Amino acid sequence: MAIPTEVGVERFFETSTWLDRVAIPIQDAVRNLFTRQGNFGLKARNFLNGVWLGHPLHAAITDLPVGAWTSAMIFDYLGLITGDRRLNRSADLAVGIGLVGAIAAGLAGLADYSEIEGESRRVGAVHGILNLLGIVGFALSMLQRMSRDRSGAIPLATLGYLATFVASDLGGMLVYHLGTEVSREAFITGPEQFVPVLPSDQLREGELRQVNANGTSVLLTRVDNQIYAIDNTCTHWGCSLSEGELIDKSVKCHCHGSQFALDNGSVINGPATSPVATFDVRERNGQIEVRKR
């Protein structure tokens, strides 16, 4: 059951369209940063999205700063109570590890943020700003530690930790409540047995055709006289792939440019990181039939 504060926070982001005045320019700036670098920018964004991992990189590395900084807080306060210098050194090391992890997680998060929409973009902007405050807090704390001033270092780290804590909660909302970066076909199935979806003579070479296979939206196309069938729902944000562009033996989504291989559904370019489902195809009695592979 959602607690009232949580419901209030969600309602706030749902209705606070004024936040778009901040969220959209930040997103435009981040997107331009990648697109201005051409092919290198595309490769960098693919890497940061986690195309090579098969799931978002950001989610995988956020544990590093959160875990390291939680440890730092424990070491700091235990060191304060006991006066044990070994705990202080452990805290300093954990702050440093957390900073490296936070910068890496931040870059991956920016790549994801560059292609999200609506309420998710508002939550993402506040999530990012709070994380930035967390990094600044711990970076200033690190400077104090280097000058051996623990009286300034611990409060700064505590403030940074609070900002990171709230940011992490919003990160959870982004994924678990709004479905950001969750594969949009996670709950889509498909026919286990072959079902007819289109007369063979109605699929022209190079055409992207959306058909219905027992309630599942499937993209059919014919390339070099071979028929391919993949799920029509882009795993990134759910756009219809049949409205996209055919590039050799792949399809590029018209919404944010994710590109999928037709033969195995793998991601060629993000921001999608999950492959699309593919279907077996056969022709029988003048009909194209598909079943989920």
Binding site for ligand FES (CB under 6 A): 115, 234, 236-239, 253, 255-258, 271-272
Contact 62, 165 (CB under 8 A): no
Task: Report, in Å, the least distance between residue 241 CB and ligand FES.
Answer: 7
Residue 229 Cβ, how far from ligand FES at the closest point, in Å? 18
Separation between Cα atoms, residue 168 and residue 277, nearest integer Å? 31
Nearer to ligand FES, 74 or 268 (CB): 268
Kindly state the smallest distance separating residue 6's Cβ from ligand FES, in Å. 27
Answer for the pair 114, 271: CB distance below 8 angstroms, yes or no.
yes
Give the nearest distance from C-beta 259 to ligand FES in angstroms. Answer: 9
Q: Can you give 9-75 as a three-state secondary structure string?
A: HHHHHHHCHHHHHHHHHHHHHHHHHHHCCHHHHHHHHHHHHCCCCCCCHHHHHCHHHHHHHHHHHHH
- β-pairing verdict for 259-261 and 250-252: antiparallel
Q: How far is the CB of 134 from ligand FES (least distance, A)?
A: 28
Q: What is the rounded CA–CA span in Å between residue 50 and residue 37?
A: 19
State the CB neighbour count (10 A cutoff) for residue 13. Answer: 23
For residue 193, give the nearest of 212, 209, 210, 213 by alpha carbon.
213
Shortest Å, Cβ 122 to ligand FES:
18
Q: Hey, what amino acid is at 277? A: A
C-beta of 160 vs 265, nearer to ligand FES: 265
- Complex with ligand FES: residue 44 or 162, whichever CB lies closer: 44
Nearer to ligand FES, 209 or 256 (CB): 256
168 or 273: CB nearest ligand FES = 273
State the chain's maximal CA–CA distance in angstroms: 83
Q: Which is nearer to ligand FES, 20 or 243 (by Cβ)?
A: 243
